[in-house]
Structure 1
Amino acid sequence: MLYDCNEQLQQFRHVKKKALDCVNFTEQREQLERRRAELDGGDQKIRELVSILDRRKDESIERTFKGVARHFREVFSELVQGGHGHLVMMKKKDGDAGDEDIDNDEDGPREPDPEDRMEKYIGVKFLREVLEFQVSFTGQGETQSMKQLSGGQKTVVALTLIFAIQRCDPAPFYLFDEIDAALDTQYRTAVGNMIRRLADMADTQFIATTFRPEIVKVADKIYGVTYKNRVSYINVVSKEQALDFIGHDQTQNAI
């Protein structure tokens, strides 16, 4: 029987034994193709989700920018009598080669892009890369950029932006460290009055260190910091005591 079986098998000696594995390979191929189709479908859904999130992100950035820009104009006109200023959003479109090709978008309505290209913001990590300030302290002539301003004027612009953001999304408290050091008397007075109004209206606490009388005059509570034997001491002082100290300090500095 064994001999007969071997003789019969000899009839199939031209058939490759591995050909019998084709059935298994075919099944594996079909499974892999189905898996690839599932992955392709998942990839498409992920790309659609990313596109939706990017669009919502851009809409949120623009909405926030328009609110801050509106308040920036209002605050600047309050701090600088007769002056005006506005913010410009710096954008770059897909396909632009360098940073020179930038869209300047103010807070007004924009026309739709005829080429339907998604606009990209240059960045949000560093504010100076995103926003451009254009201000005029006299209300006449061309507006100036930050590079053209003096130290005191830059301080006014920076405070204007902080107060504009505060009006959009107030924080519980703000800590200012000698923000009035480089300001003229008129701007120190304007900043002090604005802090007083915002503290009353927005229920926000402002903590400021200063050697100038304008902010002291509008403060609710004043602390004097003294230094003795390498130790700092903090004590509550009256407004009169604080103003006397500031007046004496300014007299000493003048001498």
Structure 2
Amino acid sequence: MLVSSIMRLQDGDQGDDDLDEDGPRATDMEGRVEKYIGVKVSFTGQGETQSMKQLSGGQKTVVALTLIFAIQRCDPAPFYLFDEIDAALDPQYRTAVGNMVRRLADMGSTQFITTTFRPELVKVADKIYGVTHKNRVSRVNVVSKEEALDFIEHDQSHNVE
């Protein structure tokens, strides 16, 4: 994926709702504060770019994760907490994200905590917790990878329409 340009809105500019026609604006030498109003990306590195509002939910997820992982390489945090980052992704992208999280966790002292109802992130996890709720009380227990995968398979079979 290639981020080709970041569009800026300078103080005093009104901006518009159709950011697709705007390109990057020149920096103002009068000291105006610039505000970023959009990003254009290309998933092939060639051809046309698309604005964020033109992307699917899965593509938006990939762009957001790309930004987070780029920041993590430059200035890693001790941990990251992701809530169902794989929900909008196709299986091959969930696998790629799981492998990337695993690789980044192995490279440094960063911990990744994720919630998921999909098997791809469970398969690369070191430790898995199951959360149950009964009689208005939640319980958190360590579960095996097999138990987690069985739960996910059972949960998905109930949610098929």
Superposition map of 1:97-116 within 5 A: 97-100=12-15, 104=24
Q: CA deviation at 1:140?
A: 4.9
Structure 2 SS opposite 1:211: coil
Same amino acid, percent of matched pairs? 70
- Tell me if 1:253 matches 2:159: yes
Per the normalisation by structure 1, the TM-score is: 0.55
Deviation per CA, 1:61-102, whole angstroms, max 9, x where unpaired?
xxxxxxxxxxxxxxx4xxxxxxx334525253xxx85244x8
Preserved CA contact (<8 Å) 1:91 1:120: no
Where structure 1 has 5 or more consecutive residues not aligned to the other structure, the ranges are: 1-75, 77-83, 124-129
Preserved CA contact (<8 Å) 1:85 1:133: yes
- Tell me if 1:216 matches 2:146: no
- Tell me if 1:137 matches 2:46: no
2-structure distance, mates of 1:168, 1:118: 31
The structure where strand makes up a greater share of residues is 2
* 1:147 to 1:228, Cα distance in 2 relative to 1, 3 A: same
Structure 2 SS opposite 1:232: strand
Structure 2 SS opposite 1:164: helix
2-structure distance, mates of 1:121, 1:163: 27
2-structure distance, mates of 1:160, 1:234: 31
- Tell me if 1:157 matches 2:63: yes
Partner of 2:19: none
* 1:213 to 1:86, Cα distance in 2 relative to 1, 3 A: farther
Preserved CA contact (<8 Å) 1:90 1:121: no
Structure 2 SS opposite 1:194: helix
Where structure 2 has 5 or more consecutive residues not aligned to the other structure, the ranges are: 16-21
Partner of 2:145: 239
2-structure distance, mates of 1:91, 1:98: 6
Per the normalisation by structure 2, the TM-score is: 0.84
Preserved CA contact (<8 Å) 2:9 2:37: no
2-structure distance, mates of 1:152, 1:240: 27
- Tell me if 1:122 matches 2:34: yes
The structure where helix makes up a greater share of residues is 1
Preserved CA contact (<8 Å) 2:83 2:115: yes
Q: CA deviation at 1:217?
A: 0.7
- Tell me if 1:184 matches 2:104: no
Partner of 1:85: 3
2-structure distance, mates of 1:186, 1:87: 27
> How much is the aligned-residue C-alpha RMSD, in angstroms?
2.5
Q: Give the count of matched residue pairs.
A: 155
Larger radius of gyration: 1
2-structure distance, mates of 1:99, 1:202: 44
Structure 2 SS opposite 1:104: coil
